[in-house]
Amino acid sequence: MALGVELMKRESKIESGEARRISRKEFKQDPKRYLSLYVVTDRKLSLGRTEEEVIEAAIRGGATAVQLRAKDLADDEFVGVAKRLRDLTGRFGVLYIVNDRVDIALAVGADGAHVGQEDLPACRAREMLGDDRILGVTAETPEQAVKAEQEGADYLGTRAVFYTSTKQYAAPPLGLCGLREIVQAVKIPVVAIGGINTDNARLVLSTGVCGIAVVSAIVAQPDVEGAARAMRAVIGRAG
């Protein structure tokens, strides 16, 4: 779908007051629609702007998914931000995922949750989310990818593909070859993350990933909407 047409549809949803949760069934019917440009929040990189300000600009630029990552926030503040982003993403019809905190994802009516290898086990996260919410799991190896798929993951994130300032490294970045191995190991969609920008996004997409997740390439930019629009253009040209 052309970006301009998609944004017009989003605007009409806002004007009509339509806001609803994206079901697991809907997601599985067209995962690329929801995962193409996946923006992850980071308050420390947001240049003093609120999560809502950053995310609304990113969505207007073409972001298709939002993950709230707020490990340093106290629960009360986390829930407050999570509720406000639920309202915002719901009005735009954008996929909304809460990182790590399955309990908060459920409490605010998020579309799903994302867990890492050191968070809640994927099988337990699936039990908590039930059959109608979306589960993302970070996989660092093909073996972890296969296990996550077996335990109910709907999509996978990866460890960093390239070096990036937003992650501390227990293992070296995957690189394109490592990323391709994960993509080929599973049937569910994979979203790549880590050091991805408009210069290297096309190479990342050539591995067969369903989408690209970004933090600093959008969240840390003075013009968030423009940065998102530029990345969506690269994704669109890659097909």
Per-residue pLDDT of the chain (239 residues; tens, 9 = 90+): 455 545 545 554 444 345 579 999 999 999 999 999 999 999 999 999 999 999 999 999 999 999 999 989 999 999 999 999 999 999 999 999 999 999 999 999 999 999 999 989 999 999 999 999 999 999 999 999 999 999 999 999 999 999 877 666 667 899 999 999 999 999 999 999 999 999 999 999 999 999 999 999 999 999 999 999 999 999 999 87
Residue in the structure block whose two tokens are 């335990």 = 151
User: Given the structure tokens 């709230």, which residue do they identify?
Assistant: 68
Query: Alpha-carbon distance 124 to 116, whole Å?
Result: 12
Range 31-65 burial, b when 16+ CB lie within 10 A, else e: bebbbbbbbbbbbebbeeeebeebbbbbbbbbbbb
The structure's pTM equals 0.91
Query: What is the number of H-type helices and E-type strands within the chain?
Result: 12, 8
| Integer Cα distance of 147 and 156 in angstroms | 11
Confirm if 169 and 195 have CB atoms less than 8 A apart. no
CATH code of 3-238, in short, is 3.20.20.70
